[in-house]
Amino acid sequence: MPNHILSLNNVSKTFYPGSVNQVEALKNINLHVEKGDFITLVGGNGAGKSTLLNAISGYFFPDAGEIIVNDQDITYLKEEKRAGMISRVFQDPKMGTAPRMTVQENLSLAYRRGERRGLHLGTSKEETKLYKEQLASLGLGLENRLDAEIGLLSGGQRQSIALLMATLKRPDILLLDEHTAALDPKTAKLILELTDRKVKEMGLTSIMITHNLQDALTYGNRMLVLHHGQIVRDFNQAEKAELTTESLFNEIQKLSLNEMFV
Ligand SMILES: Nc1ncnc2c1ncn2[C@@H]1O[C@H](COP(=O)(O)OP(=O)(O)OP(=O)(O)O)[C@@H](O)[C@H]1O
Ligand SMILES: [Mg+2]
């Protein structure tokens, strides 16, 4: 039997129901994710990609359906209660880190993710050693900047620390929402390679939203195409390997063209 770490059963979410602005952002989503899956998620603007990750992370609750993580029904579990199992990195490097706090303080907070704030907020020598090792592994020289305020670092440096923070304490599921979209191409590649390395080394289960079709094909072992709140394509690793950016682009174009006939 497949080992599903995450399941969405008939999950729906409508914004502004009953009004002229009504948006069916998720329509009856069924998704089963196996442990260790690295899924790339593509689709046009407004397709519902971020909404899907928001439902999983508990940013808001779905209107219908259920979300199961590790056999636990978390559909209506508060966001902060899921923080120990689910971590996220957002598009904006400012979102994942606290700007007025130092690198060390940010990492220390991440290290305690999902725990009740205890009396021991100080950082032990072992922890500092761990942070230095982790920072050194980025290859950006940040291990010498533990006392620097995060807000003074570049977007790429912040995003690499955000990724480190999201994985410092092993999450069951890592959610990435266009986490390289705000970076220059070289830095974006660096962060993507770091992501890939972390996912592989730690055997993480991850869903990564991207608008870069090449990245969607290069990374991960499965790819979903979301369109108008529905999963309209689900490519496994072998099918994904057959695709080119051109053929994928054509698939996505076809979906939009079909709208003219419905
Ligand atoms: N909190 C919210 N309140 C109201 N409407 C929302 C909210 N979040 C998303 N929506 C709407 O739901 C639909 C799906 O939005 P979503 O952000 O999930 O799209 P997306 O696929 O992530 O798009 P993009 O590629 O532009 O980031 C959109 O029509 C959006 O306006
Ligand atoms: Mg989005």
User: Which residue has a Cα nearest atom 4 of ligand 1?
Assistant: 15
Return phi, psi of residue 131, to 5°.
-60, -40
Q: How far is the CA of 252 from the centre of ligand 1 (A)?
A: 18
Residue 118, pLDDT score: 52
Ligand 1-lining residues (CB < 6 angstroms): 15, 23, 25, 43, 45-51
User: Which residue has a Cα nearest atom 18 of ligand 1?
Assistant: 48
Q: How far is the CA of 17 from the centre of ligand 2 (A)?
A: 20
State mean pLDDT over 13-35.
Answer: 97
If one counts every other C-beta atom within 10 angstroms of the C-beta of residue 217, the result is 21
| CB contact set of 60 (below 8 Å; sequence gap of 6+) | 13, 54
Residue 2, pLDDT score: 65
Residue 161, pLDDT score: 95
Asked if pLDDT for residue 121 goes beyond 70, the answer is: no
pLDDT in tens, 54-101: 999 999 999 999 999 999 999 999 999 998 999 999 998 888 889 999
pLDDT in tens, 135-176: 998 888 999 999 999 999 998 999 999 999 999 999 999 999
Residue 256, pLDDT score: 76
Return phi, psi of residue 18, to 5°.
80, -5
| CB contact set of 203 (below 8 Å; sequence gap of 6+) | 35, 36
Mean pLDDT (the chain, rounded): 92
What's the distance, Cα to Cα, between the start and end of the chain in Å? 39
User: Which residue has a Cα nearest atom 5 of ligand 1?
Assistant: 15
| This prediction's pTM | 0.94
Residues 11 and 45 in one domain: yes
User: Do the domain assignments include residue 184?
Assistant: no
State mean pLDDT over 216-237.
Answer: 96
Kindly give the pairing relationship between strand 222-227 and strand 230-235. Answer: antiparallel
- Percentage of the chain lying above the pLDDT 90 cut: 79
Residue 254, pLDDT score: 84
User: Which residue has a Cα nearest atom 8 of ligand 1?
Assistant: 51
Domain that holds residue 1: 1-86+220-234+253-262
**pLDDT range class, residue 32, cuts 50, 70, 90:** very high
**pLDDT range class, residue 40, cuts 50, 70, 90:** very high
User: Do the domain assignments include residue 214?
Assistant: no
User: Do the domain assignments include residue 188?
Assistant: no
User: Do the domain assignments include residue 211?
Assistant: no
Helices (H), the chain: 49-57, 79-82, 103-111, 125-136, 155-168, 185-202, 213-218, 237-242, 245-258
Mutation choice for ligand 1 from 13, 15, 92, CB with most ligand atoms inside 8 A: 15
User: Do the domain assignments include residue 156?
Assistant: yes
If one counts every other C-beta atom within 10 angstroms of the C-beta of residue 145, the result is 18
Distance CA 55, CA 65 (A): 11
Contact 161, 153 (CB under 8 A): yes
Residue in this structure with the two tokens 């923080």, named with its chain if needed: 83
Residue 157, pLDDT score: 93
Q: Which CATH number do you get for residue 139?
A: 3.40.50.300
Residue 257, pLDDT score: 67
Distance CA 70, CA 5 (A): 5
- 49 CA closest ligand 1 atom index: 21
Helices and strands (H, E) in the chain, number of each type: 9, 10
Residue 208, pLDDT score: 98
Angle CA 118–119–124, to nearest 5: 95
What is the number of structural domains in the chain? Answer: 2
Residues 15 and 55 in one domain: yes
